[in-house]
Structure formats: C-alpha cells, structure tokens
Amino acid sequence: MNDDMLKYGLFADAPDLVETLPALGRLRKATPGYIAQAEQAQRVARTFAREEMLPRVLDIDTRCSKDPQYVDWDLWRKANDLKLNIAAVPVRLGGLGWSALDNAVLVEELSSVCIASAANITFNTFGLLGALVECKTGIVLRIIRMMTEAQQKGEPLFWSWAITEPSAGTDAEDGEAMATMKPSTSARKVPGGYRLNGTKCFITNGSLAHYVIATIPMDPDHPRESMATFFIPASSEGFSVGRVERKCGQKASQTAEIFFNEVFVPEDNLWEPPGRGLRHTREILSITRGYIGLCGAAIARGALDHCIQFAHRKKVGGGRLLDQGWVQFAISDMMKDIMAVRAACYNFALSLDTYHVWSLFEKLPIKASLKVLPGEMILGDAVLELARKAPVSKAGTWYKGGVVTDELVEKFVKEGSALKVAGTDLAVRVSSRVLDIVGLEGMAYGHGMEKYFRDAKVTQIYEGSNQANRIDLFHNTIGALR
C-alpha cells in the first residue's frame, strides 16, 4: 500500500461489507451480533489477505511452477494461528464459530488475492462438512477434535474430497451421469470392513491429505446404486499418491492422482452406505457450488481491483489510463456484474445459515449443549465414546436429516449451480478483460494480473463443469415439472 493508491476494494481502509451489501444493514437491526461477527471476519480476512498473502503470492506461484509440490508453510502457519482453517468449528470447541456468512467473507477476501492459497486454508472445512452429512455424532466429534488438536499443535491437517476418476469427473456428481459412468475404483466387503482399489485423479490436496473422503462403488457395473463414501487415512497400507499435476494456474493448490491398492477400511470408516454415495456428494455440492461462485466473483474482484490501481497509476496523454472513457465504461461494466453475482452469492450464504447445515448450530439441543458444556468435556473421551454408540449416533443422523432434507439439498444444488456458473464465467471474463485494459505492460508477471486469468479458467471446470451445473439447474427447475 502506498499513498498514491485508490482506497477501493482490496485496498480500502475499512471493512466495507455492509456498505457494499446494504441489505445486511437491515439485518443488523434484527441480529446485530451476526452482522458484527461478519464485519469482524472481513476485517481479519482482508488484513490477512492484504498483509500476508498479497506480498508473497507471486513468489509462491513461481516456486510452484518449478516444483508443483512446494508449499509456503509459513503462510499456512499464520492462517493456522488465526484459526482460519477451522473457522467453522464452534468457539466452544476451539474454532472461531464462523457462520456460513462469515465463511463467505473469508472465502471472498482470500480468493480475491489468491484462490489457490485460499484453498490450502479453507478447504479444511471439507472434513467437517463431510462428517456433517450423515451426522453420526461420534464421527462429527472425532473430526472436530482432530481439527482443533492439530490447530493447537500447529500441525497441518489436510482433507481431500476424492470424487473425480480418469475420464469421469462430472459423472460422479450427477445421478444420470453416474448411472452410465465407468468407474476405475471399486470396493468389496471383507470381514471387518472393506477393500478399496482404483485411481482417483485431479484431487485437490491429494498429495498433502492426511485423510481422504472418497466415493467408491461396490459394484462398478452399477455405480449409482452401489456408490458408497469412505473415510480413508492417507497412512493406510496400499494408499499412494501419484504425480502432482502441472497446471495452468492455481499452482499453490496441489492437484494429484491417488491410488488405492487393496486399501483396507474398517466398518467405522464407511461414512455413507452403498447407494448413498451420490446423496453425500450432492449435499457437499449443495454447499460448495455457491462458494465456488463466490470464489469466481472474488477472482474477478481481485483482478479488477488490481486493474483499477494500474489504470490509476498509468499516465496516458497527459492524464491517467483511468480517465479514458472506454476504460471507465469497461470497468463499470465489470463492476456491475461483480456486484450482482456477489450479492447473489451472499444471499446464498445467508440461506445456508438459515436453512442448511449451519442452522443446526442454532437449534436448541445443540445451542444449549455448546453453551452449557465445556468444550473439553464435549470433545473428551467419555463423550466421544458415548457419541459413537449406535443409538446416539443414529439420533444425530435422524435429527440432522430432519433439518437438511433431500429436498432442501436439491434446492441448494440448484441455487449453487446457478451461482457457480455465474461466478466462474464472470471470473474468466473479467480476468481476461482487465488484461485488455492494462495491455502488454500490465500483463507482465510482476503486476500480478495475468495470474488471475490463469487461475480463473479451472473454476469453470471443477465442482462439476459449468455444463453439468447448467444441466442441474434445468433438471431441478423446469425438468422437475414434467
């Protein structure tokens, strides 16, 4: 930051969450603590993004170009110290207790600087989200304890969500596609558990993961009917990591092949029984697609924020590049798209807090438990042992199933799919267009803008290709009317 910079967006002095999303101002009157925490989240996340990430993301990108397995552990530790990697865990249990809205703020601010480094920090939520789908109490508490203990010790704990297989990416995210996919992975029942075989590819953090949550069919000829979800420690015998891919962008986020060779998984680590694997995936997608849409808007915002500063500094014909009419129209055009998509994504985050899994934390039994019982007790051995017992575990599944119904999941998949397409298409469009404004000079690596363009493209592909998201949107709306 220097004095000549325009105080805007990433470079603004004060948090601007409510200023840029005025509807939150109205909400503040009803729930002041909720909005105050979101503003605090923005303060923390923006400061971290600007002070810690921004100065080093180009260096990280360069290092990862040479060595795809490079990780900036110093940056990760700083995020860990702030508990940004366990932000969604309730305060009483050692986390920040951040709502879906707060997590949206976190995702947006970090992704506006570097979506890849943001992924290394925020993807940890997958562990918790994955466990919360079936909501077996023993599993949920165990995962939270693992996360908080690792955070307190300053030790990395990475989770991977392994869906994609060679020549089968989107296929595993949609019922119709899954029915006809030809999976390379398979599981078979053995005494005490299951044996897993096959290959998953393009797995985010696959090379760093301590635990993998994988969907694998029991019967590869009938994948939809037999798809199950397994929880697999990376230390399991027979589990191995293949190559870490050389990608166009998002280089700080490792993407790897993983192999299962007769990997044994005990019965307890079957998170979703055969036939429920797709449902598990759909519930995760019902949350993450909306966030990826916001990541897209954040890439667009970050690229545009940089472009505006460049156009402000660049002198042309006695004025600034920013003074040129065509530049002003182009910037306004991009701003209006970003504003619209961003507002829609935050509306989605508010809906997650109101109706989806985050709403559990507001339900009386859970809220009361978290208020009354000490965290050490909730995550202690005795409670964990109790929570593992079948009746308690089933009660968790039953209670959560009443809140997050199949119908609700598909409704959020629909909303999330629309936002995912809107946000990620915007990311590619804006990150390309800003380069047209700043020209060859501004495109040079050191200005940091071309990286947004390289990072953006894959957002249209992962979390279901944008084509698959469009299919989901149609099938969950017009298609459902037949």
**Which residues are near other proteins by CB under 8 A?**
65, 164, 167-171, 176-177, 180-182, 201-202, 245-249, 314-317, 321, 325-326, 330, 428, 432, 435-437, 439-441, 443-446, 450, 453-454, 457-458, 460-462, 465-467, 470
DSSP H helical ranges for 112-162: 115-122, 125-134, 137-153
Pairing between β-strand 255-266 and β-strand 186-190 as defined by DSSP bridges: unpaired
Show Cβ contacts of residue 334 under 8 Å, excluding neighbours closer than 6 positions.
Answer: 300, 304, 430, 433, 434
Is 191 or 317 the residue whose CB approaches other proteins more closely?
A: 317
Is 22 or 326 the residue whose CB approaches other proteins more closely?
A: 326
Dihedral of alpha carbons 450, 416, 109, 17, sign: positive
Residue with tokens 């609700």: 408
Q: Closest Cα partner for 143 from 164, 155, 126, 163?
A: 126
Is 166 or 275 the residue whose CB approaches other proteins more closely?
A: 166
In the complex, the smallest distance separating the C-beta of residue 51 from other proteins, rounded to whole angstroms, is 25
In the complex, the smallest distance separating the C-beta of residue 308 from other proteins, rounded to whole angstroms, is 16
Is 191 or 318 the residue whose CB approaches other proteins more closely?
A: 318
Phi and psi of 414, rounded to 5°? -60, -50
In the complex, the smallest distance separating the C-beta of residue 39 from other proteins, rounded to whole angstroms, is 36
| CA–CA dist 196, 314 (Å, integer) | 58
Is 95 or 448 the residue whose CB approaches other proteins more closely?
A: 448
Cβ-based burial of 167 (10 A; exposed 0-12, middle 13-18, buried ≥19): exposed
Is 43 or 470 the residue whose CB approaches other proteins more closely?
A: 470
In the complex, the smallest distance separating the C-beta of residue 169 from other proteins, rounded to whole angstroms, is 5
Can you give the three-state secondary structure of 78-111, one letter per residue?
A: HHHHCCHHHCCCCHHHCCCCCCHHHHHHHHHHHH
In the complex, the smallest distance separating the C-beta of residue 246 from other proteins, rounded to whole angstroms, is 4
In the complex, the smallest distance separating the C-beta of residue 402 from other proteins, rounded to whole angstroms, is 34
Q: Closest Cα partner for 321 from 175, 457, 452, 434?
A: 434
Is 39 or 165 the residue whose CB approaches other proteins more closely?
A: 165
In the complex, the smallest distance separating the C-beta of residue 160 from other proteins, rounded to whole angstroms, is 15
Can you give the three-state secondary structure of 54-72, one letter per residue?
A: CCCHHHHHHHHHHCCCCCC
